[in-house]
């Protein structure tokens, strides 16, 4: 897959998540958050009003620190595909 194709598929996965009306499981959201931040090269600090949520988000970011932006995009895409394939 070319970088352009990967980016298009990533954007489609992001749109699919954003259009979903039902709540996602918290662990799934944390993984999406980390991969999205890494894929978009956005290293801003977590901005939740609750410190515990910021701690979980920071931990999720640490877990993806050693992968590339393209790997993060692919992981995000795979997470979204699997979620919608296997959700009940």
Q: What is the pLDDT of residues 13-55, one digit of tens each?
A: 999 999 999 999 999 999 999 999 999 988 777 777 788 888 8
Domain encompassing residue 62? 3-86
Q: Which pLDDT does position 88 carry in this prediction? A: 52
In this prediction the pTM is: 0.90
Structural domains in the chain (count): 1
The CATH number that applies at residue 39 is 1.20.80.10
Choose among 82, 53, 64, 14: nearest CA to 6.
Answer: 14
Does 48 or 1 have the greater pLDDT score?
Answer: 1
Q: Average pLDDT, stretch 55-84?
A: 94
**Integer Cα distance of 32 and 82 in angstroms:** 12
Chain-centroid distance, C-alpha 40: 10
Tell me the C-alpha distance between 88 and 72, whole Å.
26
């Amino acid at each position: 897959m070319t970088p352009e194709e990967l980016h298009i598929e990533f954007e489609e996965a992001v749109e699919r998540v954003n259009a979903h009306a039902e709540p996602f499981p918290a662990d799934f959201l944390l993984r999406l958050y980390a991969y999205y931040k890494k894929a978009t090269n956005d290293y801003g600090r977590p901005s939740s009003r609750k410190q515990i949520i910021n701690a979980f988000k920071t931990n999720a970011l640490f877990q993806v620190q050693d992968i590339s932006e393209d790997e993060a995009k692919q992981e995000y895409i795979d997470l979204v595909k699997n979620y919608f394939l296997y959700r009940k």
